[in-house]
Amino acid sequence: MDPSQDFKSLQEKIQASLVSTTKAVQRIASEDLGFQRTVNPSTGERLEEQSTRLLSLSSDLLKSAAVATGQKNVGELEDAEDVDIQWRGIVDVIDGLLEKADICLDEYTGLVKRKSDFPENVPQQRKAKTNERLDFNFRRANIIKPQTAFEQQVDNFAYDYTLFLPSLTLNWTGKLPRELSRKAKGAFKHPYEKEILQLKYPETTYEIRDPIPYQPIDTTSATWVDTYEGVLEMLEELKGATEIAIDLEHHDYRSYHGLLSLMQISTREKDWIVDTLRPWRHKLEVLNEVFADPKIVKVFHGAFMDIIWLQRDLGLYIVGLFDTYHASSALGYPQRSLAYLLKSFVDFDADKKYQMADWRIRPLPEEMFYYARSDTHFLLYIYDKVRNELVERSDRSDPEKDLIEYTLQKSKETSLDRYTPFAADPETGDGARGWSNFLYKSHLRLSGEQFAVYRALHKWRDEVARRQDENPTFIMPPQVMMEIAKILPNDPKALWSLLGNSSSQKAKQSVEEIFSIVTEARKAGAEGPSTIDFFRSMYLDNRSVAAVAKRELGKEDKPELDLPPVEELRSEKSQLFGSIPLSSLWDGSSQSQNGAISEQIALPWTQFVQEAVDAASQQESQSKSQDRDLDMIPLEVMEKGTPAPRKDLEVDNTEFTLRQGQKRKLGDAQDEDSGDGGAPLDTEEMIALDVDEGGGKRDRRAKKKAVKEAKNARKQAKAGSTGRTGTEQIDTAEDEDAPFDYSQAQSVLNAKRSAAAANGTQDAPGRKKAFDPYAARMNAEGPKAARRMHGERTGKAGTFRK
């Protein structure tokens, strides 16, 4: 059978088993296991059996993986507590597996260069990479602190958290005097800012050249420099180089600000390892003669922290930086670490377990010395490779595609970084060493007492760490401080148990002092704010007008722009408002009466509005005068007894307007017929219209009024012909103007019933009787009950017991 098929079937079987096991585990929450064991003993036995089986399988897998990756074998896992105890070893084995998988994938996809691409005449006998965990003595060495022997002691209380003065006694370029390296308000200015901004890299940086092979690392040796004379000899050799590689090793666990412990420098021919923990370390400032020389390219990898450490401890500055980290970013490499570059271009496996070693150890062990040398020994060869690739893939005519220029500009920005001491505001907790950092990460809610205790412990820890030049975490971890704040121990013994093994001896020796601080803080914080109240008030205060003004006014003065005088830009007359004053208080001629403006202000653009208003008012006055002349309509009074003219002989040429057509009712038609019948009207006067043949709006108004009066006359005539009395006749003129009286109006709902009762036709035969919705529900016994809407349905019935 094909081995690939065997592996595929095995893989599918293992994956199916893992999926089913994971599903089974997720069915029951871990918090319910104790309950299940108590309720059902058989379930507890099955759980124990499956846990033992899973632990046994895990132990076998870890042993096999440790052998394959060269890791230290993990002990037998007998119960769940063994997993916690040996967790670090388990993580190392799994990390080794993942790293081995990454390397295999890189080789398969071609990201790792073939060995034929490297110099063939270089022997490849190197120390094999080991993935064993670094011993505790190499990570946390118990030695005398070397900073106590420095000729220039570090004062951790000297800084005001905003000002830092470097140990710079001379500017080696001679272009910027020392006095100009400060600003007016005391803020430190980069002493080589002008040189870096005006820097022009050598022309060879923009050219494709054959990479210079590196020297064999196993047949050459590095020079250990621990004397000032050795530094001067090294300096003379560095002056003749065109490119140098630099790397640093740093330690921050047993120092408040940190400690630069080692410096590696390499040229094309030689390597140096400089001890930066010597008492005369401040004299290393002489290296600025090379480090600040713009004609020499300084190659770093990830120099953003190296630049800060050099400034803080040694007063060294870099001019002419080339950072291979930015080159990896510009080229789009999948990884940007130095270990990836070493593996890709040199096929060298860097043993990164020494990256977290305690570099204060003296004498330096051979393995650590070899690791430190390898960081810079191959770096110049890597620089040649990535520089050629940058130039080859760059389009110098397009700034967005100019990769080499992008890398150089990013390197300049990195070299312009300045060191700023750790800031910690005791009131707000802001800053790199502030007490609010851990609260933001933990999202814990503390009461007033707990909050006050936490801040008091943080203040005590920071003062002790500064005084003893220790890292605050070494004195007391933040988890321990939070545990003390949450529990609030009532006696020193309980406080001692909370310190644990992670706190320093200084903290354990100060148990009585810490307990008194906790007691006083609890009393002071009884009425104090909680964490929620404090951060809410801080958020509101930061958004207030006073806080914004304080932040804005506290900024440094910006340079004034060269603007023309205001008098030259000011106009005597406004283009919108003309020459009027902007306020009535500035014009004494304007007076107010009863608090109102007596006169209108004439603006330039209001003259058009005023002319339009005058024209409209004049036209309206003319129209009103003509309407008053038309109000007097002449009436022709007919003599009494004179018969009315026949309708068929009368020719009416009066114009009228049909407003809305409606379907006439039968009663209205009968009334109209009876009104137009033979008997003469009782009216003694007939209105005759004297229509003016003028036309226009005036004629239409007169005609409309005449038609309305004629209509009213016809209504009066109809009222007289039906026999109504004069009191029942309606004065149409008054009806049109009088408002409707709702109190005297009849009911709308009972209007038809009332009319029928008045005429005596309510019980007339043949008339449909009104519908009564309650008649069908009435009987001799009274109203019937409502019909059941839902009857009983078939189904289960249950009885509930108490």
Host H or E run for residue 246: strand 243-251
Once rounded to an integer, what is the mean pLDDT over residues 227-255? 96
Once rounded to an integer, what is the mean pLDDT over residues 526-530? 90
**Residue 297 three-state SS:** strand
pLDDT at 759: 53
Burial class (CB in 10 A: 0-12, 13-18, 19+), 590: middle
Instruction: Kindly state whether residues 199 and 106 are assigned to the same domain.
Output: no
| Tens digits of residue pLDDT in 457-480 | 999 999 999 999 999 999 999 999
Of the spans 57-71, 482-496, 561-575, 602-616, which averages the highest pLDDT?
482-496
Instruction: Kindly state whether residues 280 and 384 are assigned to the same domain.
Output: yes
Residue 420 or residue 586, greater confidence? 420
Check whether 290 has a pLDDT greater than 80.
Answer: yes
pLDDT at 685: 42
Q: Which of 453-457, 462-466, 681-685, 714-718 shows the lowest mean pLDDT across its residues? A: 681-685
Among 700, 720, 740, the domain-final residue is: 720
> Do residues 424 and 438 make contact, with C-beta atoms less than 8 angstroms apart?
no
Is residue 667 one of the residues assigned to a domain? no
pLDDT at 368: 93
pLDDT at 17: 84
pLDDT at 120: 39
Is residue 333 one of the residues assigned to a domain? yes
Instruction: Kindly state whether residues 639 and 502 are assigned to the same domain.
Output: no
Once rounded to an integer, what is the mean pLDDT over residues 56-80? 78
pLDDT at 593: 46
Tell me the pLDDT band of 536, cut-offs 50, 70 and 90. confident
Q: Which of 19-28, 93-102, 126-135 shows the lowest mean pLDDT across its residues? A: 126-135
Check whether 395 has a pLDDT greater than 90.
Answer: yes
Residue 792 or residue 96, greater confidence? 96
Tell me the pLDDT band of 647, cut-offs 50, 70 and 90. very low
Tell me the pLDDT band of 657, cut-offs 50, 70 and 90. low
pLDDT at 412: 97
Distance CA 240, CA 233 (A): 12
> Do residues 147 and 255 make contact, with C-beta atoms less than 8 angstroms apart?
yes
- Can you give the residue range of the structural domain that contains 98? 40-110
Show Cβ contacts of residue 727 under 8 Å, excluding neighbours closer than 6 positions: none
Instruction: Kindly state whether residues 23 and 44 are assigned to the same domain.
Output: no
Residue 37 or residue 577, greater confidence? 37
Instruction: Kindly state whether residues 25 and 56 are assigned to the same domain.
Output: no
Find, among 422, 450, 430, the residue nearest to 535 by Cα. 430
Q: Which of 123-132, 370-379, 518-527, 776-785 shows the lowest mean pLDDT across its residues? A: 123-132
pLDDT at 543: 55
Check whether 436 has a pLDDT greater than 60.
Answer: yes
The CATH number of residue 488's host domain is 1.10.150.80
Of the spans 81-90, 174-183, 362-371, 550-559, which averages the highest pLDDT?
362-371
pLDDT at 520: 96
Is residue 730 one of the residues assigned to a domain? no
Looking at the chain, the number of H-run helices and the number of E-run strands are: 30, 10
Once rounded to an integer, what is the mean pLDDT over residues 326-355? 91
The CATH number of residue 187's host domain is 3.30.420.10
Among 531, 553, 575, the domain-final residue is: 553
Is residue 500 one of the residues assigned to a domain? yes
Distance CA 435, CA 458 (A): 6
Distance CA 688, CA 710 (A): 9
Measure the N-to-C terminal CA separation of the chain; round to a whole number of Å: 70
pLDDT at 263: 98
pLDDT at 721: 55
Proportion of the chain above pLDDT 90, given as a percent? 37
Is residue 124 one of the residues assigned to a domain? no
| Tens digits of residue pLDDT in 716-737 | 777 665 554 444 444 444 445 5
Tell me the pLDDT band of 374, cut-offs 50, 70 and 90. very high
Among 720, 744, 773, the domain-final residue is: 720
> Do residues 379 and 301 make contact, with C-beta atoms less than 8 angstroms apart?
yes
Is residue 565 one of the residues assigned to a domain? no
Distance CA 163, CA 185 (A): 10
Instruction: Kindly state whether residues 259 and 398 are assigned to the same domain.
Output: yes
pLDDT at 183: 45
pLDDT at 628: 54
pLDDT at 550: 57
Instruction: Kindly state whether residues 345 and 369 are assigned to the same domain.
Output: yes
Instruction: Kindly state whether residues 168 and 73 are assigned to the same domain.
Output: no
**Residue 596 three-state SS:** strand
Instruction: Kindly state whether residues 247 and 381 are assigned to the same domain.
Output: yes
pLDDT at 775: 64
Is residue 168 one of the residues assigned to a domain? yes
Instruction: Kindly state whether residues 326 and 402 are assigned to the same domain.
Output: yes
Once rounded to an integer, what is the mean pLDDT over residues 670-694? 44
Instruction: Kindly state whether residues 175 and 261 are assigned to the same domain.
Output: yes
Once rounded to an integer, what is the mean pLDDT over residues 437-453? 89
Average model confidence (pLDDT) across the chain: 76
Residue 797 or residue 199, greater confidence? 199
Is residue 531 one of the residues assigned to a domain? yes
Once rounded to an integer, what is the mean pLDDT over residues 546-550? 59
Check whether 665 has a pLDDT greater than 80.
Answer: no
Check whether 111 has a pLDDT greater than 80.
Answer: no
Residue 437 or residue 733, greater confidence? 437
pLDDT at 439: 87
Q: Which of 95-104, 235-244, 587-596 shows the lowest mean pLDDT across its residues? A: 587-596
Distances in Å between the alpha carbon of 457 and those of 313, 375, 435, 618? 30, 41, 10, 89
Distance CA 379, CA 264 (A): 11
Instruction: Kindly state whether residues 197 and 269 are assigned to the same domain.
Output: yes
Once rounded to an integer, what is the mean pLDDT over residues 683-691? 42
Once rounded to an integer, what is the mean pLDDT over residues 641-658? 49
Tell me the pLDDT band of 329, cut-offs 50, 70 and 90. very high
pLDDT at 688: 42
Provide the number of structural domains found in the chain.
5
